[in-house]
A and B are shown apart, each in its own frame.
Chain A
Amino acid sequence: MLGKTAGGLFWMFRYLERSENTARLIEAGFRIALTRADGDDDEWGSVLQTAAVAHLYYQKHETLEAAKAIDFLLRDATNPSSVLTAISAARMNARLVRTAITREVWEAVNDTYMILKQRLTRPVSARDLPEVLALIRQQSALVRGAMHGTMLRNDIFDFCRLGTFLERADNTARILDVKYYVLLPSISQIGSSLDNVQWETILRSVAGQRAYRWITQGETSPMGIADFLVFDGRMPRSLAFSVGKMATNLAYLERAYGQRHPCHDQIDVISARLTHGTIERVFEDGLHEFITDFLTDIARLGQQVETDYRFLG
Chain B
Amino acid sequence: MSDTDRFFDEMLTPEGTPRGPYASYGRWFDGEDLRELRKKSAEAENFFRRTGITFNVYGQAEADERLIPFDIVPRVISAREWARLTKGIEQRVRAINAFLHDIYHRQEILRAGRVPVEIIARNDAFLPQMIGMAPPGNVYTHIVGTDLVRTGEDEFFVLEDNARTPSGVSYMLENRETMLQMFPELFTRIKVQEVSDYPRDLRRSLAASAPSNCSGDCTVAILTPGIHNSAYFEHAFLADQMGIELVEGHDLRILDGKVAMRTTEGYKPIDVLYRRVDDDFLDPLSFNPESQLGVPGIMDVYRAGGITIANAPGTGIADDKAIYSYMPDIVEFYTGEKAILQNVPTWRCSEAESLKYVLDNLSELVVKEVHGSGGYGMLVGPAASKKELAAFRKKLEARPANYIAQPTLALSTVPILTQKGLAPRHVDLRPFVLVAPDRISITPGGLTRVALKKGSLVVNSSQGGGTKDTWVLEE
State the A residues within 8 Å of B (CB).
1-6, 92, 95-96, 98-99, 103, 106-107, 110-111, 114, 155, 253, 257, 259, 309-310, 313
Whether B51 and A103, one on each chain, are in contact in the complex, defined by CB atoms closer than 8 angstroms, is: yes
Contact (A313, B250) CB under 8 Å given A92-B227, A98-B240, A99-B236: yes
Q: How far is the CA of A6 from the CA of B253 in the complex (A)?
A: 18
Whether B239 and A2, one on each chain, are in contact in the complex, defined by CB atoms closer than 8 angstroms, is: no
Given known contacts A98-B236, A98-B246, what 4 new A-B pairs fall within 8 Å (CB)?
A2-B262, A6-B264, A95-B232, A107-B52
With an 8 Å Cβ cutoff, the count of chain B residues facing the other chain is 23
B251 within 8 A of A: yes
* In-complex Cβ contact of A107 among B50, B250, B251, B261 (8 A): B50
B300 within 8 A of A: no
Whether B251 and A2, one on each chain, are in contact in the complex, defined by CB atoms closer than 8 angstroms, is: yes
User: What residue of chain B has the Cβ atom nearest to residue A257's Cβ?
Assistant: B265
Most chain A CB atoms below 10 A, which of B232, B251, B264, B266: B264
Contact count A vs B, C-beta below 8 Å? 64
User: What residue of chain B has the Cβ atom nearest to residue A309's Cβ?
Assistant: B264
B49 within 8 A of A: yes
B364 within 8 A of A: no
- Which 9 pairs between the two chains have the least Cβ-Cβ distance? A98-B236, A99-B240, A309-B264, A3-B262, A99-B239, A6-B264, A313-B250, A1-B264, A310-B262
Contact (A259, B236) CB under 8 Å given A95-B52, A99-B246: no
Q: Which residues of B contact A155 (CB under 8 A)?
A: 264
Q: Which residues of A contact B266 (CB under 8 A)?
A: 310
User: What residue of chain A has the Cβ atom nearest to residue B247's Cβ?
Assistant: A2
Most chain B CB atoms below 10 A, which of A6, A99, A103, A309: A99
User: What residue of chain A has the Cβ atom nearest to residue B261's Cβ?
Assistant: A2
User: What residue of chain B has the Cβ atom nearest to residue A258's Cβ?
Assistant: B265
Interface residues of B in 252-281 (CB under 8 A from A): 253, 261-266
Q: Which residues of B contact A253 (CB under 8 A)?
A: 264
Q: Which residues of A contact B49 (CB under 8 A)?
A: 114
A-B residue pairs in contact (CB < 8 Å), sample of 9: A2-B247, A4-B248, A95-B236, A106-B51, A110-B51, A253-B264, A257-B264, A310-B264, A313-B251
Q: Which residues of A contact B261 (CB under 8 A)?
A: 2
Q: Which residues of A contact B253 (CB under 8 A)?
A: 313
Q: How far is the CA of A144 from the CA of B264 in the complex (A)?
A: 24
Q: Which residues of A contact B239 (CB under 8 A)?
A: 99
B245 within 8 A of A: yes
Contact (A110, B250) CB under 8 Å given A1-B263, A95-B236, A310-B262: no
User: What residue of chain A has the Cβ atom nearest to residue B262's Cβ?
Assistant: A3
Q: How far is the CA of A111 from the CA of B47 in the complex (A)?
A: 11
Q: Which residues of B contact A98 (CB under 8 A)?
A: 52, 236-237, 240, 246
A286 CB → nearest B CB, Å: 38
User: What residue of chain B has the Cβ atom nearest to residue A253's Cβ?
Assistant: B264
Per-position binary interface string of chain B over residues 209-246, scored 1 when its CB falls under 8 Å from any chain A CB and 0 otherwise: 00000000000000000010000100011011000011
Whether A107 and B51, one on each chain, are in contact in the complex, defined by CB atoms closer than 8 angstroms, is: yes
Q: How far is the CA of A177 from the CA of B262 in the complex (A)?
A: 38
Q: How far is the CA of A99 from the CA of B49 in the complex (A)?
A: 18
B282 CB → nearest A CB, Å: 18
Q: How far is the CA of A228 from the CA of B49 in the complex (A)?
A: 43
Q: Which residues of A contact B227 (CB under 8 A)?
A: 92, 95-96
Q: How far is the CA of A3 from the CA of B245 in the complex (A)?
A: 11
Q: How far is the CA of A309 from the CA of B265 in the complex (A)?
A: 7
Contact (A310, B263) CB under 8 Å given A4-B251, A95-B227: yes
Most chain B CB atoms below 10 A, which of A92, A114, A313: A313
B177 CB → nearest A CB, Å: 11
* In-complex Cβ contact of B52 among A4, A5, A96, A110 (8 A): A110
Per-position binary interface string of chain B over residues 83-115, scored 1 when its CB falls under 8 Å from any chain A CB and 0 otherwise: 000000000000000000000000000000000
User: What residue of chain B has the Cβ atom nearest to residue A4's Cβ?
Assistant: B251
Q: How far is the CA of A107 from the CA of B245 in the complex (A)?
A: 21
A95 CB → nearest B CB, Å: 6
Q: How far is the CA of A111 from the CA of B51 in the complex (A)?
A: 9
Q: How far is the CA of A230 from the CA of B46 in the complex (A)?
A: 45
Q: Which residues of A contact B264 (CB under 8 A)?
A: 1-3, 6, 155, 253, 257, 309-310
User: What residue of chain B has the Cβ atom nearest to residue A109's Cβ?
Assistant: B52
Q: Which residues of A contact B240 (CB under 8 A)?
A: 98-99
Contact (A110, B50) CB under 8 Å given A2-B245, A313-B250: yes
Q: Which residues of A contact B248 (CB under 8 A)?
A: 4
